[in-house]
Amino acid sequence: MSSLTITSGNFEPEVLQSSIPVLIDFWAPWCGPCKMVGPIIDQIADEYAGKLKVVKVNVDDEGALAQRHGITSIPTLVLYKNAEAAAQKSGAAPKHEIEAFFKSYLN
């Protein structure tokens, strides 16, 4: 399973109406650190399937969503739980740091 691409059109049903926490990866194809984190995010999507929904927002394609979340640097991870942004982390990080960022929010 790979992560789902989020747009303004599917943000509400996929993120706000999700019954499990959602980890959003704000990224861009030209971003070097995003390319480093991307495979880790995909691995997390597979390992936490059913407990955590992992989605991606390309900031070049979805500038309004990035602006709405105050994204000023990428990669940035935003964790949604119960239809609200619960936490945010910017910058590339190793897998264990990314897991530590969201684990306390899992049901």
31, 37, 44, 78: the active-site residue: 31
15, 23, 34, 45: the active-site residue: 34
- 63 assigned to active site: no
Q: Which residue type, as a one-letter code, is found at position 86?
A: A
Q: Where are the beta strands (DSSP E) in 1-107?
A: 4-5, 22-27, 53-58, 76-81, 84-90
- 58 assigned to active site: no
> Strand 4-5 relative to strand 53-58: parallel, antiparallel, unpaired?
parallel
Helix (H) or strand (E) holding 46: helix 32-47
Which of 76, 60, 70 is closest to 23 using CA atoms?
76
**Catalytic positions, written as ranges:** 31, 34
